Amino acid sequence: MKLFIKKPIAQLMAASAATESTLKRTLGVGSLIALGIGAIIGAGIFVRTAAAAGEHAGPAVTISFLIAASGCALAGLCYAEFASMIPIAGSAYTYSYATMGEFIAWIIGWDLVLEYALGAATVAIGWSQYFNEFLTTFFGFHIPYAWSHSFFETSNTTVGMYAAELGNRGIVNLPAILILFLLTLLLIKGTAESAIVNNVIVVVKVAIVLMIIGLGWHFINPALHTPYMIPADAGVIKVSTGVVNYGDTFNHGWLGVLRGASVVFFAFIGFDAVSTAAQEAKNPQRDMPKGILISLVICTALYILFSHVLTGLVSYKQFLIQGKEASVTYAIKAAMPGYNWLANLVTVSILAGFSSVILVMLMGQTRVFYTMSTDGLIPKIFSKLHPKFRTPYKSQWLFFGFVSIFAGFIPDRIVGDMVSIGTLFAFVLVCLGIMILRNTDPNLVRPFKTPIYYIVCPLGALICLGMIASEGWENWARLIVWLLIGFIIYFGYSIKRSHVRHGKVEGAIDPINPKFVE
């Protein structure tokens, strides 16, 4: 069946040479680090930090960030090797197709839906909550609970904007769908954000994190950090989706910290965006690893300090009862008297920052599927371009519908966990891919080599697998079902229409019977 037929690297390099006139190598180490920081700091730190602390890790969420960062760093070294071998704009899908074969490429491409599409849904849900905070703060009203939450959530708070709606059940998260709709229109039209606006948003996001750390440090209550890890007898908390029992295996102690790592892992999604800029880096062999790893170190330090301050302002349990997705704003208002202006600034800035993250995720998703469509692995509709705007408009509308189902009707916790487990699985494959290639293709030109790969690769895969293992059987079941759906599509459709498999790509290589396919 030739499951592992490869897309020829020569063709990819030819495509790279053909675009040299438009993609200039202008990015140095500083630019790559800035790109990494901008891609990493997004929804995760403002939404998932509180969720991980409240449900699993408590104040020890700082340790959760260290675990997640170590897995990302090891995977980042593997990404850097791929990027140096194939220094063109691309993704893990492109790398794997050229080095590990079509079947692995399909798995990664299909799995990336969990990272990009469901990532956009998770951020849209967070955007919805902060949008309600914005309306309440500046206009004195909010969208009712029923129309800003999923059907699986019930209001359980007696304070804040939803105090009068205690016991109300959600119907659909309309603000989340609204922002997805507006950004879909923007992407279809092809109006790109200017570099200046993007840089301003990045500066604002980092400045807010630094302000919260600096100003909030003086309001930390040390008693809230004791005990540092959630004890098994911490009790049961009623939340909008049911209850959180701290006596459960992954809701306290070290296993809770590990589960917290899989939750806050969402905050690091985006570091691999640095690897996609390989074709525009001045010296990708030298600068790519630095850009990936230094941006990870800086963001990890900010995350640890930020989470230390956040869990020192209010009890971790309050994040499940009153703060929810807007926990940062809640903590500032509750524990920092006289700093409501900072909470208001956080709300406005996060709305802008979240919007840019959603935009990038929606664009990334359609571009991955555009490439898969041009390879014949999925229907042509995903590579159909608008006659005027030259954007994959039909694909954008299809993903708007798909993402809206999750953003409108599924709680943030469930969607975010699916994003994390899908991305972790992709990282495992990337780590294993480098280790496999070192043995199957030892003579490939590698401008950058993952150091001590026989330790880095398996260790990176094991750390990511450890975080996946802590996700619980529900998320494992969702991942397995998602992959089974992908296998049905691949063997029922893709394998029959693959351009590489049927010789539509000159020079396709069959690793089982090496020869050029005419």
Round to whole Å and give the CA distance between 390 and 381. Answer: 14
Round to whole Å and give the CA distance between 216 and 212. Answer: 5
Round to whole Å and give the CA distance between 272 and 292. Answer: 7
Residue 154 lies in a domain: yes
CATH of the domain at 57: 1.20.1740.10
Round to whole Å and give the CA distance between 137 and 91. Answer: 41
Round to whole Å and give the CA distance between 119 and 47. Answer: 12
| Tally of domains in the chain | 1
What separation, in Å, do the N-terminal and C-terminal C-alpha atoms of the chain show?
17
Residue 503 lies in a domain: no
Round to whole Å and give the CA distance between 289 and 277. Answer: 12
The token pair at 87 is: 């220094």
Residue 502 lies in a domain: no
Residue 511 lies in a domain: no
Residue 508 lies in a domain: no
Place of tokens 């903590």: 331
Residue 355 lies in a domain: yes
pLDDT value for 457:
94
Residue range(s) defining the domain that contains residue 448: 9-497
| Of 498, 193, 192, 200, residue with least CA distance to 373 | 498
Round to whole Å and give the CA distance between 106 and 4. Answer: 10
pLDDT value for 275:
65
What one-character DSSP code corresponds to residue 193? P
- SS3 of residue 257 by DSSP: helix
pLDDT value for 381:
92
Report the Cα 188 to chain-centroid distance in Å: 22
Residue-level pLDDT, tens digit, the chain, 518 residues: 578 888 876 666 665 555 444 445 666 787 778 777 776 777 668 878 888 999 999 999 999 999 999 988 898 888 888 877 776 655 678 778 877 889 988 998 898 888 788 888 988 998 998 898 889 888 888 899 899 998 888 887 766 677 677 778 889 999 999 999 998 988 887 644 444 566 677 788 888 889 999 999 999 999 999 999 999 998 888 876 678 899 998 899 999 999 999 888 878 876 766 665 665 577 777 787 788 888 888 889 999 999 999 999 999 998 887 766 678 888 999 999 999 888 888 888 788 878 877 887 887 788 788 888 888 999 999 888 888 777 788 999 999 999 999 999 988 777 877 777 888 888 888 888 888 888 878 887 787 888 899 999 999 999 988 888 887 777 788 888 999 999 999 999 999 999 888 776 544 444 444 443 33
Residue 504 lies in a domain: no
What one-character DSSP code corresponds to residue 252? S
pLDDT value for 378:
92
pLDDT value for 466:
86
Residue 351 lies in a domain: yes
Q: Contact, 4 vs 511, CB < 8 A?
A: yes
